[in-house]
Chains A and B, each alone.
Chain A
Amino acid sequence: DAMVIQNPRYQVTQFGKPVTLSCSQTLNHNVMYWYQQKSSQAPKLLFHYYDKDFNNEADTPDNFQSRRPNTSFCFLDIRSPGLGDAAMYLCATNWGTGGPDTQYFGPGTRLTVL
């Protein structure tokens, strides 16, 4: 009964080699979020989709892109990973109705950059 699924759980890539992380949800939620979390730090919002509308945070590097081909799936593309991009990447979803609304998180993908 997994609700937010992230694949892979662990990803190793080389410096500068593009990588794609995947998130899928069975909740039919309108909003999907991508967070970056470095060790012992707060999750940092990179961007979110409300349905097909993409919303980028002002301080998210251009190196990070996202795609949402349908309601269920959302992808995080890192075009040229640097050593500083090694982190846990968390996907989350919610309804986005404007009222009090909790987020449902996936288990995360741990990215290592060699």
Chain B
Amino acid sequence: SQQGEEDPQALSIQEGENATMNCSYKTSINNLQWYRQNSGRGLVHLILIRSNEREKHSGRLRVTLDTSKKSSSLLITASRAADTASYFCAIDTGGFKTIFGAGTRLFVKA
């Protein structure tokens, strides 16, 4: 399967702590994206990292990409209760198909 594999499946942290989620995949990619999904809602795009980039920042988000290891990580710094959601990596291999991982469910305790 080309699907992104995410770990951990679930993560529970205290407000103010950092949260790290990992994504591994099996095929060559054009880019990798991270999306967020609040319970019972649609997905919201967070950040896109191209295959020739190694690190990208957006506010409290930091994404790394290691194409040699076929892996990516999403770091959320100084987490807030409002960050509680599911986070999905999505790989773009070209064409119109974006393949989503099963997601990491993050719970931030106030």
Contact = CB atoms under 8 A, between A and B. Distances in A.
B97 A45 contact: yes
B70 interface: no
A86 interface: no
Contacts of B98: 45, 103
A5 B50 CA distance: 29
Interface string A86-107: 0010101000101011111111
B27 interface: no
Interface in B6-38: 30-31, 33, 35
A108 B103 contact: no
Contact of B40 (A31, A57, A110): A110
Interface stretch (A13-21, A36-44, A66-74, A77-85): A36-44
Contact of B42 (A41, A42, A98, A105): A105
A107 B38 CA distance: 10
Interface of B: 3-4, 30-31, 33, 35, 40-45, 48, 50, 88, 92, 94, 96-103, 105
